[in-house]
Structure 1
Amino acid sequence: MNADSSLPVTAEKSFLPNRSDDEGGIDLGQIIDAIRRRLLLVAGVTTVVASAAVLKALTDTPIYEASFEILTNPVTLETRIISAANPQTLSNQQDVVAVSVDEAKLKILKSPKVIDPVVEELQETFPAIDYGDVARGLTVQPTSQDILTVTYQHPDPAVVTAVLDVVEDAFLQFSLEERQRDILRGIDFVDEQLPQLRSRVDALQSQLEALRRQYNLIDPEAQGQQLTQQISSFSQERLDIRVQLNEAKLLYDNLDQQLDQQGELAAASLLNENPRYQSLLDKLLEIDTQLAEDSVLFMGESPEIQYLREQRQQLLPLLAQEGQRTERQLVSMIRELETRDQALGQAIDQLNQRMKVLSSVARRYSDIQRELQIATENLNQFLSKREALRIDAAQRQTPWELLSQPGNPRASAASVKRNLLLGSVLGVLLGIGAALLIDRLSSVIYTPKELKSLSKLPLLGVIPFNEYLERYGPAASVATRLRQAGYILNITNKADEQEQSQASTPFIESFRSLYASLRLLNPDRSLTSLTVSSATPGAGKTTVCLHLGQAAAAMGRRVLLVDTDLRRPSLHKKIGMKNAKGLTDYIASPELSIEEVTQPVPLDDNLSIITAGSLPPDPTKVLSSRRMEEFIGMVNQQFDLVIYDTPPLLGFADAFLTGVHSNGFLMVVGLGKVKRTVFQQALEDLKVSMIPVLGLVANGAKEDQMASSYSYYQYYTQDEALPSQTNGALKTEPAGLLKSLKDLPIVKSMTKK
């Protein structure tokens, strides 16, 4: 088969896109994955930084602290007495009498206005103390709605005790002065507002009286209701007249149209109610009926027919006159209804005009009345508040109350807790930053999502990481196939059986899905040959090549695996076969046939393999030879699908020499093993060679990267029962699996072949 006839299965060639096509922005999923991969680094950095912060706190000079609490909204004895004597006083309103604490008050408590007198008193005992020492160590914080906690920290416990004693008295005195100041300011404000409120009330009363005199109003709302009822009544009557008018016009139009079209057969509803018209119409119908019956018996010019026609012609003018008389009656009715409609419209317009004037006056009346009510209420409230403030101003008891006295200063543990918290937060941030930096510098592809985003190529398959194959190598592969064939039907170690089942099921299904994706790339053109390669060694291309061939063979395709990795062949090792005669021997020896170098794979009737054979000194020469081209054409005719296992792309031309004769490349990328730059360089080389890339295969995906597919297989197989009918249990460890299989008939047949 000519290679040109089986070129790309894909609808269009897929190459690495330009860098400008990449979308920008931050991928939160990639950041979370990077942190998860470097979780130990993040934990280590966090532990180191937090430990250093705690160590610093422990080695620093100890800080002593003490505190006291103040109730900022108590009910004093004076307040109770005044409230009982006069319920209208502000003493009944605790939030007004009390000195409330907000952000502004907290700043004032630590301002020089309050602290400077404290410093002056303290300097008599501690001359070196200043405002900065007191303000830095003093903390004023509300712990609940009405409780204020005052804390002071200092290396000297004696200073802590002295400062809190003086600050306690200063804060209580501040509360008394602040309340007195607020009350006096309130009295002054009320006195300033009272003249304006009185003037406002007088002015509004004068406006209301003038409005009533001008429009002779007593209650605008009642007059408005009367006008509204009249307008509603007239509007309803006018609506009824318009309905009658529309009906009359419709009857007139129908009657006029029918009389014009065929007067003798007019059937308007109004004419149906006219007995004279109906009588004439009945006579006309009788004549028409008689005329129709006689037309059958007599000729058209017979006297009988002529007589009937004359009678019919005499009735037609009478019908027309009766229709015109009815039409004149309708015209008269329409004119009468139009006159009544016009009169009602004029009356409604006059009422609406009066309603507009009344609405404007009523609105002004309501506005003035509302403003007068508000102004009167304000005046009364201000008068009451002035008397209440004067009574409250006479109180001398401090509005704040000391709840707890300052205790003995103690060494503060807050610094250790604070440093631990800050160190932990800083450590987490530094650890995350270091993890992201290292992950960025490593530039390794870890997830299928990164791979797809980087290449913009179809991701045809995601192969899960198979720990069993990774641990036991070829032995696990042979054991798996023998188990599927029915020779290993019971395993003594239940844990090992469950491990194999859960690891292999999604692994095998991923290759079936991969082959299905390859076939569906272009259903109109069959896939006959495929080149499997990778950017660098260790990506798992040979494993993908083998299991992809098994998946295709299981679906009834005759598959040939060709090991064209003539530098380090490994396909025969994966299957456990000998590399006696292979591809290089066929190319070098014209007398050899393809059948002599083709070996059937045990347990797979549709799967065959051609190993690499003897290692040549120049693999490039072998792959570019004329006999190699003939070999490719022959195997394409003998097999449904030929899969070539090639060396890595970078550094060698072998894969390109093979790929140019196949339908395209299948790139295998080992997750966590290939750097972005290396992968991009491989795609650039493919772009230059103009060889189509069918798609990508992500190999070695973790469980969390398999998403719903892995969860489905895990659920589906977790309770799967083992076959009950067995030919004997195989009791051996996986490491010695091949040795234990030697006595099986199928293995003996494999050895003979």
Structure 2
Amino acid sequence: MAEKEHFEALQRDGATFFTPLHASRAPFSSTEFRESPHDVEIEVNLRDYLDVLLRRKWLIGSILFAVFVTTAIITLAMTPIYKATGRLEFTLQSPKVTKFEDMTVPQTQTREFMNTQSKLLISDSLAWRVIETLDLVNNPSFNTDIETENGSGLMSGIGSLLKRLVGHSSEVDPSELERHEAEVQQRLLKSFMKSLEVKAERDTTILNLAFSSENPAVARDVVNTLIRSFIFWQMDKKVQSASLANEQLGKQIDLARIRLEKSEAELNRFAQKAGIVSLDSRMNLIYKQLEAINTALAAAHAERLSKEALDMQAREAGISGMPMVIANLLIQHLRQHHVVLVSEYEDMLVVFKPDYPEAKRLKAKIDDVAAKIADEEDRILQAIRNDYLAAVKNEDGLRVQAEKAKAQAMDLNDRATQYNILNREVTANKDIHQSLLQRAKEIDATMGADISNIQVVDNALLPVIADRPRIKLNLFLSMGIGLMLGLAAAFLLEFMDNTIKSVDELSDRFGITILGVLPEVEDGLKDKLDDLVVCDPRAGFSEAIRTTRVSIQLSTTGVGSTQKLLITSTTEGEGKSTIAVNMAKAFTAAGEKVLIIDADLRRPRLHKVFSQAVPGGGGLSELLVETRSLEDVLRATDMKNLYFIPAGLLPPNPAELLASKRMHQCLEELGKTFDRIIIDGPPSVGFADVLVLSSLVNGVILISTLGKTHRQALSLFRSSLANINARFLGSIVNRLNVQSRFGGFYSKYYYQSYGYENRSPERGTEASLEGPKSSAAS
């Protein structure tokens, strides 16, 4: 009771027990934490992913198995669906029986043409034609909602539906009947389109038609009926188009005939009024006269020019040399006679003088002949002149007549303008009427004469093997999907799991030195785990403890002493107390005088390990409140040079007690007696005890467990030690699974290399005898 009252007094005056933390510490060694761990680039390799898969293999396998079994059950429970398939070949243009053009315009692009045919095959009108032909409304394998009652056709199903709705009323509303008829029709069409599949083969004009149904006969009949109905439907469309075109052309022909008759009547009335018989020059008198006058005028003009030239030549050059004078027979005779007379006269003048009577007579004859020649030439010259004047007069007369005829023609042209307009309208109406009559005759000739451009390649056969469900494919897909889901779940859990996964992560990511790696202890050795380093020194765990002890001894050579060590962890259950006990015994086996202190004043455990040394006398808490002395709380264990101070009673203020001057004084005093002081502290997260103890020791060792130590807790622990300038030696990895990637490495290259596994009793006994020497030497 006195001790409890003293603890309460300490809780009230706890502030007086705090001492300043040691700000001046030895400089950090290579074993202490490194700066800026977040700046370290983390290398991810294939082995890390393989390690995730190995650790999560049961999760992946479970998901894979669940997906596989579920898929298998669902697949086997599904109703078999049969698919029947048929094939159609299309040509871009129908074969021509006649040379006339068809009423439908062919599509020249193959892709557009095939797309159009595909859309036509899945049209509602064609689908309903097939449904009615096969009476699928009353087929239970197609219409699952059909009533099992007498009656046939769509109206029977609608009637039964209306009877249920109106309570067998004798009066049925027509609008209600129409509405339900439309609902049934739309439902059946939707079901039909869902089961129908139309697909074009690549780079061909062949379409594949497939229909799926629970009844294989229904699937076959639907495809074959759809093919026949489509062919007939296409032919009916052409006949219908021709009929509609013929009917429309009949109306247009009647209108064209009326317009033609009206335009001809208007033309005749205008011609009678204007006095126009015809505008054709061969039939019109005015145009004919004008043409004749123009021809005559041109000839007269040419004749006048010729005679004018002849007259001018005769006057200017003389008439004697004109061809017509030379050719005149009278003049030729006179000139010959004149030449004879002149010759005789000249002969006579040789003998006689000109006064000779006979000479005078010859001279008179010569002058008479010359006068006759001159008279004849004057007569010819006057004739040429008269011909020229007659030609001029004739030309002038024809020109006057031409002007009169031209005036009459221009007047006729003025009147013929409207006549031509009316005549052109008559001609156009006549052409339109004639072309419409010709097209109507062509349509009558081509109606029903076209050959279909659709050929059946394959009719649908009765399917004997179900198309769905595809058991093998579903199971293979389920395995793939299950594996993907399993991998996704594994990596998702791995991503959400914030614990340390590998030894390398401690060093590479957080810059923490690995002091040792302790394997998972076999089940047969767990009951003596606290004393394993002594009772089974050849065990892998024992060897790892000794290796860690050597690592601690050599890690701070030349830097500072590691006489006082604090062993802690981020959370409870990571094995810090067990490791502290075995480390203490390993240092003792190495020849050191060791003291282990249970400083976990919240949940102490070492008093259970050294139960034979704790019969009474109090512990650390009593020592710190000065109700006990060091001699009272210091206990010897059953191992030589190993001493123990239990935690004692649990105080209400552990942090204040550990931070008291008394704690610092006791550690200083104990350091003079013992070579090594190992303090088993509480977990670091959530308590200030570890920070207080870290300031009192020469080094802090963190116990980490893969898959349990959290990254945030580890980062917070390092930051806290850095804030108080505590010395962090490194971490000991505990409970490494030797079957995992890292465990297998250590087991293969460390523990098994020297025959620790499957050793014989003789060698084991010999090794046990040599063990202390080796330890002492170490």
Higher Cα radius of gyration: 2
Q: TM-score, normalised by structure 2?
A: 0.46
